[in-house]
Structures are given as C-alpha cells and as structure tokens.
Amino acid sequence: MVGVWCLVTWMNLGRPSKLRLVELGPGRGTLMSDLLRGAGSFPEFAQALEVELVEISPALRRAQWVALRCTGGEQRSGVGSGGGETGVGEGGGGGQDAVEGTSSVSGGGVRVRWRATLDEVPQEGPPTVYLAHEFFDALPVHQFVRDKGGRNWLEKMVDVAEPSDPGPHHLRFVLSPGQTPAAALLVPRRLAALVDEERRGVQALEVSAHGMATAERLALRVGAHGGAALVIDYGRGSPPYTDSLIAIRQHKGVHALSRPGTADLSAWVDFGALRLAAEGSGAAVEVHGPVSQAQLLLSLGIQARAQTLADVATSEGQAQALAAAFHRLVGQDEGGMGRSYQAMAIVQGGLPAPVGLYKRGTLRLLQDQANATNPTAAAPNATAAAPNATAAAPNATAGAPHSDGDADEAGGTRK
C-alpha cells in the first residue's frame, strides 16, 4: 500500500517525468522490491522513478541488491567516496560479491543507487519522495529524569559497573551529576510543545535528537526542492515517552546493556517531536498526522485488496491466513499494529492533503470498519496489499514491532 501512496503523491505533484524515490534504512529491501513490482502496472509512474537507498551496512546492501534483482554497477572502493554514490553489485553477480559501485538497475528496469547517509542523496533535480519505514525507531535517544528537588533535569548515561557489581553486563546506567548540554537543549524545547495538562507532573522524558534532526532535514529538503516524506513506525504523537528503549536478541527481550552490538536496540517513536522539528524548520511544508496505520491502510484501499485476494483463495486455510494478516495490520485492539504503528507525512506547501493522512476525525468510518472487520474475510499478507502486490506495511517484521534478524550480520543494528 506504500506504493499506492507514492503513486497518488506523484499524481499530486503533477506527474513529473522524473521522481526520485529515497528509502531510509531499507532493511532487506522487501518493501522497495514489492513497491517496484507493483509500480510495473503503471508504466508512466514506473518510468519516472529513480531509486536511492540509504544504507550503510554492506551486508544489507547485498540483501537489497538481491531483493531488487539488480544487475550492473561499476566497481569503486570506499563507502561514499567520489561524491557519495554507493551502488551495489558488479556485473550480475547476484549480490554475493557485491561491492560499492555507481549504480545498478533493478529487475524492473529502474535505476538504483546506494548512499551511506541522507546527506549524500542529491537535493537538486527532480522532486523527491522519502520513505522511512521502521527507521526512526533505530535512532539513538536521550533519557532525562528530574532531580529530587524538581529543579534540574539529569541525563541517564552509561558507566562502567563497579567491580563489586554482581551483574553480568559490566556496564550500568547512571544519572549525570548535573544538567548536561543535551538536557539544557532538548528538554525545554520538547516540554514547551506539550499542552499544560501533559506538561504538569512530567518527571522523566525521552527525546531522540537524531530523530528530530532527521525530520528537520527532510522538511528542509522537501520545502526547498519539492516532494514529500512518509514516516511509518511504532509510536505515538503525545504524550512523549519516558523510557521505551528495549533490546531484542533472537526474538527475546534482553537488558539494553547486555553484549553491546549483538542485539537490536530500538525505542518507540515520539511523532510529536518529529512534527515539532519539521514544523519548526522554517521550511515551506505542511505536516499531516500522525494517524494510525489502520487509517492509512484503509484509506489506501487495503480492504478492497483483501477482498480481491479472498476471491482467489485456493483453500480455507489460505483464506484464514489472509484474514489473520489483515487483522494484524489494521486491528485496533491493544498492541495491534493498526493502532501501535503510526504514519506521518511532510509535503511541500500547496499540495493537497496526502491520501490516508486527513485531519483527525474525518475518517472515523474507516476506523469503525477496521474494528468491525469480519476476520473470516480474507486479507493480504504483509507484502501483497497494493496494486499487483505493492507492499502493505511492515516489511520483514509484520509479526511484531521489533525484529533482530539482522542484528548480528549488520553490526548490531537492524537498519
């Protein structure tokens, strides 16, 4: 369904002959692979696309190269060297011996380039659509706690454990002795954006400076050069979190300081902070959302797609599996992805409100439909809910908000 959103956004932009499509943290390339496959049903849209994947992990770049069925790519050493272009693949090597290169071509004929950072993605040129699906949750966070007097904010930091500490981690969390520069900069800004009833009584606060800086950079890019950005992640708009940092190893929760580099660290996304950063950038943009994933997907037609798949189901078991996947994606029950995952868009000024991210309250009917959905009505799986199998929602992590499948291979970070 993300592909549908990109298609409609391209139409809102006036159907430009070229559209740069940038994905931040593409994981194993599942979402982009499905998106490009679905785009093949819309030749004018597909021919306009130029793809940039922001990924620093060589292991994941190889996986993306394979998932996109890439060929070609001029060999060049050094990530980000020579202007920051880093493609993957060499002469149809299947990704097994992929090295940095200038560019590759996907199986659908779309040019693909890899970049190590967002800053390496060119700003000039065609309008750009940025996708950040389960990207912001992997960015670092700062955590702050009021001191006992309630006057200063102390920062939670990592220290070496005392020799007498019987714990297995050899590291520990401690509070700073006084206010840190991060506390002085981030806490007042985040608290000022809260309404009085939310601000009162706040004793702890979690803020992602990296997340806010990235949202600000996206807004500046979109405002200056045109386009839009779509953020989908687990989180909420308000109130901010106090301590959502978790670590997952082999699908089990572990202590955040246990064997650093071998677990997937993530934190729930404070969409209110992202919106604050984007709107405070001064860029000529409009920010829409956050809205629930259920609202986004239902607006994009996932229910109709579900019924289409149900009509061609070959067995009762297949129909039930599709129904379960549909409910998982749009279910509004506690912990359901339709509720815990949120979506937010940053669009250039003057564009219509992006599909699926209308003002709150205008799509109550869609939410009621999600709650009342008959689970026996078949539904799409996590990667087949758009025009001809465009990605519906979480790529390889549809079963839960976190997955550490790439942690060891990619150096301890899923993205």
Q: If you average pLDDT over each of 154-168, 375-389, 396-410, which comes out highest?
A: 154-168
Domain limits at 165? 142-207
User: What distance in Å separates the CA atoms of residue 268 and residue 84, rounded to the nearest whole number?
Assistant: 30
> pLDDT tens digit string along 115-158?
999 999 999 999 999 999 999 999 999 999 999 988 899 999 99
Average pLDDT of 292-315? 85
**Residue 201 domain flag:** yes
Burial class (CB in 10 A: 0-12, 13-18, 19+), 386: buried
**Residue 386 domain flag:** no
Give the pLDDT of residue 359.
Answer: 59
Q: Which residues contact 19 (CB under 8 A, 6 or more apart)?
A: 10, 13, 45, 48, 49, 50, 126, 127, 128, 129, 227
**Residue 237 domain flag:** no
3-state secondary structure of 51: strand
pTM of the model: 0.81
DSSP label at residue 72: -
**Residue 244 domain flag:** no
> pLDDT tens digit string along 266-287?
999 999 999 999 999 999 999 9
> Does position 362 have pLDDT exceeding 70, yes or no?
no
**Residue 232 domain flag:** no
> Does position 167 have pLDDT exceeding 80, yes or no?
no
User: What distance in Å separates the CA atoms of residue 265 and residue 401, rounded to the nearest whole number?
Assistant: 12
90: left (phi over 0), alpha (psi -120 to 50) or beta: beta
Give the pLDDT of residue 162.
Answer: 83
Average pLDDT, the chain: 81
Give the pLDDT of residue 336.
Answer: 76
Give the pLDDT of residue 404.
Answer: 36
> Does position 408 have pLDDT exceeding 80, yes or no?
no
Give the pLDDT of residue 335.
Answer: 66
**Residue 180 domain flag:** yes
Q: What is the DSSP string of 289-314?
A: EEEEHHHHHHHTTHHHHHHHHHHT--
**Residue 288 domain flag:** no
Report the number of distinct structural domains present in the chain.
Answer: 1
Give the pLDDT of residue 372.
Answer: 52
Average pLDDT of 388-414? 34
**Residue 314 domain flag:** no
CA angle 404, 382, 227 (to 5 degrees): 90
